[in-house]
Homo-oligomer: A and B are copies of this chain.
Amino acid sequence: MPATIIDIKNRTGLSLATISKYLNGGNVLPENKIKIEMAIKELHYEVNEIARGLVTNKTRTIGVSVYSIESIFNGTLLKYMGDTLRKAGYGLLICDSNQDEETERKNIKFLLNKKVDGLIVIPVEAGNGIIELVKNADIPLVFLDRAAENGGCDCVRIDNRMAALHATNVLIKNGHRDIAIISSGKEYTGIERCKGFTDALKNVGVEIKEDRYFKGIHSIEYGYESMKKIISMQNRPTAVFMTNYEITLGAVMAVNESSISCPEDISMLGFDDLILSHVTNPAMYMVVQPMKEMGEKCVELLLNKIEKKNTDMVPVELVLSTKLQEGNSIKDIN
């Protein structure tokens, strides 16, 4: 039975109001302050945040829904978000959608019912009606990494299309014209990155054949299976662009198991650094996203909304820039 504020009251003889004031940083007579502090120590008193939340209608907790907590990409993002929130005195309620939209909706309802002060969503896919779901709760919502369906919501992300375009240009500069792309086919980032890839090739007058597009799900398995197919093609492309971390992992696995090698037999360009490029041999050439900035900025944006520092109602779309991490996985075939 943890102690309550009533116990402190009985112990000190002070009123609830005074104790509550002290608890919330108000001014109290030095002698009373000492009394209260002693009582707190002796009784091991800790504020009941549930009770406090009920009256203030604030929980100093923000909810995060991630499409997969198993992905180190999200783990990294969560780390930076957690750091930033902790500094601001906020806690983090994390839910894992496990790649399932139904679960995602349930989780968001759960978070809403927990009365989180704000919500950050790294969605499974665009178009799960999340905005709709949150609207009624009247709390700020920020999308991270993947923009919402219609873009009518605050969002922190990279310019996926441009990032893919610049990356593809590296392959082009190295003489590649017959390039395959493995990407997720349904969610926002995959679609955009695919567009950027096509743009880059169109810019140099190259039309990519249909069988060079591998559009599936965001998973290691899909990356693996697709790369296997590519490897076994009679007219194999000279390079492959893997548009996210999981797909990149899967593709690397497939090449490692095969008899061909990179970059001699096939050039590879990946997405999302996360140690991978240092572990593979040869080091992977990849697009790297500013993970730290993404995590931090999205929390800052959300907290500004919560604390009403940002009063304008126009959705903020923060587009961060990416870098290219050089590696040895691309062969110059000029």
Contact = CB atoms under 8 A, between A and B. Distances in A.
Interface of A: 1-2, 44, 46-51, 53-54, 59, 61, 68-72, 74-76, 78-79, 82-83, 86, 91-96, 98, 103, 106, 109-110, 112-115, 136-138, 220, 249, 252-253, 256-257, 275-276, 278-281, 283
A103 B257 CA distance: 42
What 8 pairs across the A-B complex have the smallest Cβ distances? Answer: A94-B94, A70-B79, A253-B278, A75-B75, A49-B113, A72-B72, A82-B96, A50-B53
A51 B48 contact: no
A82 B54 contact: no
A128 to B, nearest CB: 17
Number of copies: 2
A96 B70 contact: no
A141 to B, nearest CB: 15
Given A83-B98, A91-B95, A249-B279, 7 more contacts: A48-B113, A49-B115, A70-B76, A72-B72, A82-B98, A93-B94, A252-B279
A68 B82 CA distance: 11
A266 to B, nearest CB: 14
A92 B138 CA distance: 23
18 contacts: A1-B138, A44-B136, A46-B109, A46-B113, A49-B113, A50-B50, A50-B54, A51-B54, A72-B72, A82-B98, A91-B95, A94-B94, A249-B275, A252-B279, A256-B278, A256-B283, A279-B279, A280-B280
A114 B50 contact: yes
A110 B91 contact: yes
Contact of A280 (B1, B44, B95, B281): B281
Nearest to A138: B1
Contacts of A75: 69-72, 74-75
Nearest to A135: B44
A275 B70 contact: no
Nearest to A75: B75
B78 A96 contact: yes
B61 A86 contact: no
